[in-house]
Amino acid sequence: MTATNGSTRIEGTRPFDVVALGIVTASILLFIATGSAIGPDIVASWMGHGPGPDRFIVNAFVLNIAIIIFGWSRYRQLSQELVERMKAEADARHLAETDPLTGFLNRRSFHARAEELVAEAHKADRAVAFVMIDLDNFKLVNDYNGHSAGDELLRECAERIARIVPVGSAMSRIGGDEFALAVPFEPGNREQVDRLAETLLTQIGRTARAGTVTVEVTASIGLSRSDKPGIAGRPVSAHAMLEEADVAMYHAKHRGRNSFDWFDPQMGEEMRFRTQFENQIREGMRKREFVPFYERQIDLQTGKLTGFEMLARWKSPTLGLVSPEIFIPIAEDIGAIAELSELVIRQALEDAREWDPSLSLAVNISPMQLRDPWFAQKLLKLLVEANFPPERLEIEITESCLHQNLTQVRSLLTSLKNQGIRVTLDDFGTGYNSLAQLRSLPFDRIKIDRSYVTSVGSDADNAAIVHSLALLGKGLNLPITAEGIETADVLEHLMQYGDLKGQGYLYGQPRPAGQLGEWLSDAALARQGSGESPIALSATSLPVTGEAICAEQAKLEARRA
């Protein structure tokens, strides 16, 4: 039996079918023989011309009729059972080979079908394009709208893909939010596959309904092709092509998402390096190689130290001191950012516990952490373990956090503020949030992004933006912090905007806890009421005015040179 397009066809018979059919056939032959023997006697008896047929033969004839009826009934029953069993086997095979949610092939059956397509294309001097599709940020749909909404979105995406892919292609959902296609094409017509990838991006990126909500999702697509030398003239394996398409897909995702890329060997090297880097990050977390550094935060009008911002650094034994701009995005991609952040925050709380109680500690929170509904409880647990007053802690979140589940973010921030923790909106001015949204969240401070601050003395547009943001903060009763203060000229411009806090390399580069003694002692002396400004206490303490600023600026320029 084979199943084709859902129909069932009998290709042979089973032994019990032959026996039943043989009994019925024999009974029919016997029926004919006995019937021909007693038929004339029965007719003659009815017409009164004879004694009638022999009673024994009549009984045999009637029994023969019963056997025929029973045998035929049994034969039909067995045949029906056979058909139903074969249909059940076909259904079981279909379930084993397809994804129940979308009806596409599953991973195992896709590999088999793709191998067939590659072999057929190889014989016909054609090629097969392998297309790996991954939905961007699909996890957010599940997290914020439930798995039923996620399933509905997957079905909708599958239907859109099926309407686009050429006839004769293989379509598969190979797991989670990943789809794979094998599409035959002419080797000299790569543009056909490019157009297919562009159409897929456009169609998948259309707004979709998932349950009762409207969701938007994009895709990253990787492509590879089978027309390359194989082993001993044989076509390359479908498994290898799918892996190459997967590498290209991740390359497209890391390049900005909602795009597609063709595989090239250099991508393989990059992915191997990235895999090694990811493993080093995990190993570094296990060995406590990630440590907090601290950048001073200064009251610009008084020059007093008000606190420190904690910045994570990776002291790798093989790579040296690694910047967070390098390892944090990767840690977010591999789902390790929450654990990494907890490691450095725990150490920072222990360090800051020894500082003067008037000094605050600011820590950055990843958008990934705010997706965790238990984040507030985890942070409070760290505070309790370190015996650190919540009032001295500030958390800084970026505007990108507000593009996610705003209701959950508001709940988390409110919970933290109720415990005394202060909340700063970091990189203000770089996002697209409305003022109404800004006021709807319980922020205590806004921080102007360094991209505006560093050129405030030379760029009139940036100067106007900084001035406007400072006035906005004053109007909303939200204190302002300016980051990226690197020159005396920038500081001079900022001081005309009123009461601001600031930080930047003009006040010294971030240092580990063991090198904060000088800064902390200067701050302690300033608070003893000596009558002297912090600048007069130490030539290297807080370079806010005069010769100290020039000296610090010269050091900064020398380091950059």
Please report, in tens digits, the pLDDT of each residue of the chain (561 residues total). Answer: 333 333 333 344 455 556 666 666 776 776 676 666 666 665 555 565 556 556 666 666 677 777 777 777 777 777 777 777 777 666 566 556 788 889 899 888 899 999 999 999 989 999 999 999 999 878 777 767 777 888 888 999 999 999 999 999 999 998 889 999 999 999 989 999 999 999 999 999 888 877 677 778 899 999 999 987 654 455 678 888 998 999 899 889 887 788 999 998 888 787 788 888 999 999 999 999 999 999 999 999 888 999 999 999 999 999 999 989 889 988 988 889 999 999 999 999 999 999 999 999 999 999 888 888 899 999 999 999 999 999 999 999 987 676 666 778 888 999 999 999 999 988 776 655 556 666 778 889 999 888 889 888 888 888 898 888 888 888 888 899 999 999 999 998 898 888 899 999 999 999 999 999 888 887 666 665 544 433 333 333 333 333 443 444 444 444 444
Which residues pair with residue 501 across a beta bridge? 299, 481
Residue 102 covered by a domain:
no
CA nearest 154: which of 483, 326, 162?
162
Residue at a domain's end among 97, 127, 158: 97
pLDDT for the residue 45:
58
Q: Is 420 helix (H, G, I), strand (E, B) or coil?
A: coil
Number of domain units in the chain: 3
pLDDT for the residue 510:
94
pLDDT for the residue 100:
86
Same domain, 428 and 480: yes
pLDDT for the residue 211:
67
**Domain, as residue range, for 226:** 107-263
Residue with tokens 């905007």: 497
Residue at a domain's end among 97, 118, 147: 97
Task: From residue 508, give the alpha-carbon distance in Å to each of 330, 394, 455, 481.
Answer: 28, 21, 18, 17
DSSP secondary structure code for residue 444 in this structure = S
pLDDT for the residue 46:
57
Residue at a domain's end among 212, 245, 263: 263
Residue 193 and residue 129 in contact, taking contact as beta carbons nearer than 8 Å: yes
Same domain, 505 and 541: yes
CA distance 83 to 89: 10
Residue 199 covered by a domain:
yes
Same domain, 485 and 394: yes
Q: Is 441 helix (H, G, I), strand (E, B) or coil?
A: coil
pLDDT for the residue 499:
85
CA distance 535 to 473: 28
pLDDT for the residue 231:
45
Residue 551 and residue 539 in contact, taking contact as beta carbons nearer than 8 Å: yes
Q: Is 455 helix (H, G, I), strand (E, B) or coil?
A: coil
Residue 273 covered by a domain:
no
Same domain, 309 and 171: no
Which one-letter amino acid corresponds to residue 374? Answer: W
Same domain, 16 and 93: yes
The encoded tokens of residue 147 equal 């798995």
Same domain, 387 and 534: yes
The encoded tokens of residue 99 equal 């994804």
CA distance 189 to 512: 57
Residue 475 and residue 455 in contact, taking contact as beta carbons nearer than 8 Å: no
Residue 412 covered by a domain:
yes
Residue 510 covered by a domain:
yes
Residue 225 covered by a domain:
yes
Q: How far, in whole angstroms, is CA 468 from its chain's centroid?
A: 37
DSSP secondary structure code for residue 222 in this structure = E
The β-bridge relationship of strands 360-364 and 422-428 is: unpaired
CA distance 240 to 229: 12
Residue 284 covered by a domain:
no
Same domain, 86 and 119: no
- What CATH number corresponds to the domain at position 229? 3.30.70.270
Same domain, 53 and 131: no
**Which ranges of 205-352 does DSSP label H, i.e. alpha helix?**
238-254, 265-286, 324-333, 337-352
Same domain, 233 and 319: no
Residue with tokens 């789809």: 179
Same domain, 89 and 123: no
Same domain, 428 and 403: yes
pLDDT for the residue 115:
92
The β-bridge relationship of strands 480-483 and 500-503 is: parallel
pLDDT for the residue 409:
85
Same domain, 90 and 20: yes
pLDDT for the residue 519:
87
Residue 317 and residue 326 in contact, taking contact as beta carbons nearer than 8 Å: no
- What CATH number corresponds to the domain at position 424? 3.20.20.450
Residue 355 covered by a domain:
yes
